[in-house]
Amino acid sequence: MIPAPFTYRRSGSVAEALDLVSEHGDEAKFLAGGHSLLPLMKLRLAMPSVLIDLGPVRELSYIRDEGAHIAIGALTRHHDLEHSGVLARSLPLLAHAAGQVGDPQVRHRGTIGGSLAHSDPASDLPATVLALDATLVARGPSGSREIAATGFFEGLFETVLEPDELLTEIRVPVPAADAAGWSFQKFTKRAIDWAIVGVAVQGTAVALVNMAGTPVRALGVERALAAGATPAEAAGHAAEGTTPGDDINASPAYREHLARVLVERALVEAQSTQA
């Protein structure tokens, strides 16, 4: 399978990428690692007429400790997140979740910004940044703006990004000492599959993978925890407010059951990692 014809453009900087996208409008798509977009293009589920390759934009590949938060360039690869000493110290949930994406070959190409902008609710990192209360930074023709992760994802493959905006940075607050416990749980049939259901927990923040059209916070669980519930009691609320899909892998009822089981496991593990 090969993608439908398109024009390939290569950009060496953020400024050049923004110029190219303003030239081509919403016919153009940014190409980061390509491991979400190219498979969709091969299936003709996406047919952009112009691809703007961000591969050479090295200025967006970094992980910086800014004290109260960690700043991550949008083109930082999963492999680099997985092996980052800064993340291992300050955001072990993110390092671990990045190491659960796909397989080593995928992690050598895929980027955090690409994964978030692609907005697949079955992906690992969207729910992870939601649990971490991250802020996303996007740059467009009129400058930069900050978007809370809670307001970023709109639906399957849809975000609040405008066609001429580029996601440039992910800012993740370093969890407070009493919220240091974390866990990432993911249920798959095969190692490299997307999660049928997944859970990211940081402190008492709980986010679900693949339980709705977007990643969602498990607000019922969080409310129960705040009221002093045990992990088992709180996990009973895991499916509240979710709208899980029905597909070849699982029925909605099965996904709701999985969410309750995985949330309990995640809360127990998060308690055990809370020093």
CB nearer other proteins, residue 69 or residue 107: 107
Three-state secondary structure string covering 180-205: CCEEEEEECCCCCCCCCEEEEEECCE
Distances (CA, A) of 99 to 44, 60, 63, 146: 29, 20, 16, 26
Angle between helices 219-226 and 252-273 (to 10 degrees): 40
* Of the candidates 187, 251, 261, the residue with the CA atom closest to the CA atom of residue 221: 261
CB nearer other proteins, residue 16 or residue 53: 53
Length of the chain: 275
User: To which residue do tokens 């895991």 refer?
Assistant: 238
Question: Given candidates 191, 227, 248, 275, which one binds other proteins under the rule CB under 8 A?
Answer: 191
Q: Which helix (H) or strand (E) segment is 82 a member of? A: helix 78-82
Is residue 10 at the binding interface for other proteins, with CB under 8 A as the rule? yes
Is residue 44 at the binding interface for other proteins, with CB under 8 A as the rule? no
Is residue 236 at the binding interface for other proteins, with CB under 8 A as the rule? no
CB nearer other proteins, residue 105 or residue 251: 105
CB nearer other proteins, residue 38 or residue 160: 38
- Which sign does the torsion angle of CA 145, 107, 77, 179 carry? positive
Question: Given candidates 12, 34, 163, 236, which one binds other proteins under the rule CB under 8 A?
Answer: 34
Write down the least CB distance from residue 192 to other proteins, Å.
6
CB nearer other proteins, residue 42 or residue 89: 42
Question: Given candidates 28, 48, 87, 102, which one binds other proteins under the rule CB under 8 A?
Answer: 102
Strands of 143-148's sheet, edge to edge?
Answer: 63-65, 69-73, 166-173, 135-140, 143-148
Is residue 248 at the binding interface for other proteins, with CB under 8 A as the rule? no
Is residue 106 at the binding interface for other proteins, with CB under 8 A as the rule? yes
Three-class secondary structure of residue 153 per DSSP = strand
The window from 5-13, 129-137, 159-167, 216-224 that contacts other proteins (CB under 8 A) reads: 5-13
Question: Given candidates 17, 21, 46, 51, which one binds other proteins under the rule CB under 8 A?
Answer: 51
Q: Which residues bind other proteins (CB under 8 A)?
A: 1-8, 10, 31, 34-35, 38-39, 42, 51, 53, 55, 79, 102-106, 108-109, 191-192
